[in-house]
């Protein structure tokens, strides 16, 4: 199956390697310098003491139709990345955090399915080299769509109800976690007893329910309680390094949804205000 990877960073690069090694026809779409590095030397994924190497095709613009397009850029880069897609994909599967990216993508492409990726920790050590620290990854997709290439590549896939169910299931815990870890630069283990985390989860769940998602605070806490004590968020790391972060796309999106749905989010708003602009 032909699969495009729009943004072969940590998430996209790791998936590109596994998809290519599973026999899928993969093309990575990236900025010219990244596309050149992949075209020249391929992609390497370091995981569990092994180095997996693949040679997917690479280009700075998607000029050919693909059956599946995985959008794996971070939210601040989405507008520019979409301009690199000149051909119409069969199905677009965005693995971004937040909810607001869906409107942009659905206005641009005819078939877009809501999806998220979880249980995944990785970073890019070079333009064409990814280090995966987590044992595995879980991709959740709204019902009614196929993810056969991901399943053939050994990625766990779960179908999770409506588009809102899928997006809010992750966002309801990520919004308070991203803001609190970014504001305090402390890991999850030190924040579980922070009353702002409990209040933020309650606020985000209330917004999710008002938006029509089947999300429960107990389920969110079960996941948070299972997280490693030293776990932080990529948002906190980006904020600490002075890089563009997804904080507005994650926590800001929940605050804006709360205003639209008339659900108060004072804790999340206060945490946002404490984070560097």
What confidence tens digit (pLDDT) does each residue in 57-74 have? 999 999 999 999 999 999
pLDDT tens for residues 75-94? 999 999 999 999 999 999 99
Domain hosting residue 150, numbered range: 2-159
pLDDT band for position 160 (cuts 50, 70, 90): confident
**pTM to 2 decimal places:** 0.94
Q: Which helix (H) or strand (E) holds 58?
A: strand 57-59
Domain count for the chain: 2
The CATH number linked to 16 is: 3.40.50.720
The CATH number linked to 178 is: 1.10.1040.10
Question: Comparing C-alpha atoms, which of 102, 105, 46, 57 is closest to residue 81?
Answer: 105
136/179 same-domain check: no
pLDDT value at residue 277: 64
pLDDT value at residue 186: 96
169/152 same-domain check: no
Q: At what angle do helices 253-261 and 163-184 cross, to 10 degrees?
A: 120
Indicate the residue among 159, 191, 214 that finishes a domain: 159
179/125 same-domain check: no
203/146 same-domain check: no
Distance CA 253, CA 247 (A): 9
Q: Which residues of 107-127 are buried (b: 16+ CB within 10 A; e: fewer)?
A: eebeebbbbbbbebebebeeb
110/170 same-domain check: no
107/203 same-domain check: no
pLDDT value at residue 276: 80
**Percent of the chain at pLDDT above 90?**
95
Vertex 103 angle, CA 68 and 214, to 5°? 90
pLDDT tens for residues 207-249? 999 999 999 999 999 999 999 999 999 999 999 999 999 999 9
**Percent of the chain at pLDDT above 70?**
100
Alpha helical stretches, state H, the chain: 10-21, 32-41, 78-82, 101-108, 148-152, 163-184, 188-191, 195-210, 217-226, 234-241, 247, 253-261, 266-274
Which tokens in the block code for residue 45? 């994924």
């Amino acid at each position: 199956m032909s699969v495009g990877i729009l943004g072969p960073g940590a998430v996209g690069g790791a998936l590109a390697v596994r998809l290519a090694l599973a026999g899928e026809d993969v093309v990575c779409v990236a900025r010219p310098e990244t596309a050149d590095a992949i075209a020249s030397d391929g992609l390497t994924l370091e995981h569990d003491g092994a180095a997996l190497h693949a040679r997917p095709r690479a280009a700075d613009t998607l000029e050919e139709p693909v059956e599946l397009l995985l959008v794996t850029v971070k939210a601040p880069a989405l507008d520019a990345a979409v301009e690199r897609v000149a051909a119409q994909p069969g199905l677009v599967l965005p693995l971004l955090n937040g909810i607001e990216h869906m409107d942009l993508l659905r206005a641009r492409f005819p078939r877009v399915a809501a999806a998220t990726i979880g249980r995944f920790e990785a970073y890019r050590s070079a333009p064409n080299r990814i280090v995966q620290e987590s044992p595995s990854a879980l991709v959740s997709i709204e019902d009614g769509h196929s993810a056969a290439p991901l399943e053939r590549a050994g990625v766990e896939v779960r179908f999770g109800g409506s588009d809102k169910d899928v997006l809010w299931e992750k966002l309801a815990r990520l919004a308070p976690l991203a803001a609190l870890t970014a504001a305090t630069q402390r890991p999850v283990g030190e924040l579980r007893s922070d009353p702002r985390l409990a209040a933020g989860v309650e606020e985000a769940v209330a917004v999710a329910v008002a938006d029509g998602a089947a999300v429960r605070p107990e389920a969110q806490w079960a996941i948070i309680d299972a997280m490693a004590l030293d776990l932080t968020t990529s948002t906190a790391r980006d904020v600490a390094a002075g890089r563009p972060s997804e904080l507005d796309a994650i926590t800001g999106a929940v605050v804006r949804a709360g205003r639209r749905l008339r659900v108060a989010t004072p804790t999340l708003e206060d945490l946002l205000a404490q984070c560097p602009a």
